[in-house]
Amino acid sequence: MITDPLVRAEIAQEWTVVESLKNWSRSAALPGLMVQIDPPVEFFNLPLVLAYCALDNFLLQCIHEAFFPMPSTPGRKKPKRFQLAERMSASRSALNWIDYDLVTNGRSARNDLAHRAIVASAADCFKFINAVGAELRGWGIIS
């Protein structure tokens, strides 16, 4: 897949952060009592956004290494600035996606948060994060 070992390591590190935040909780010991402190459900939107950043970085590197091309934009004076959706779509012929539609639904949830301040449920965040993780594992980027 991608050959640059530094980029592979960066994406793997990004994913370590995603997993760490996805599994974040704290406990406190009081005399005779152990208390589990879980973050508010909105917290899990942060690793959702970061999961899609890792996916985007992977796709950008695939383009950089010419693993798949982006569509040409004839007649434009400036190069078109492609978004994640377009990179995902362009990659479909080159990458073996496990569940492209689920990852696309997660991208929409990420866009809802980033552009409309609509927060996804914790269950949806976990579902979409796990879907991105499955893709990255399937492509051999993370273990």
Q: Provide the number of structural domains found in the chain.
A: 1
- Residue at token pair 């796990």: 130
Q: Does residue 98 lie within any of the structural domains? A: yes
Predicted confidence (pLDDT) per residue in 23-36, tens digit:
988 777 778 888 88
Residue range(s) defining the domain that contains residue 130: 5-69+82-138
Q: Does residue 14 lie within any of the structural domains? A: yes
Q: Which residues of the chain have pLDDT under 70?
A: 73-80
- Using N-to-C axis directions, what is the helix angle for 45-64 and 100-116, rounded to 10°? 120
3-state secondary structure 53-100: HHHHHHHHHHHHCCCCCCCCCCCCCCCCCCCHHHHHHHHCCCCCCCCH
Q: Does residue 75 lie within any of the structural domains? A: no
Q: Does residue 117 lie within any of the structural domains? A: yes
The pLDDT assigned to 66 comes to: 94
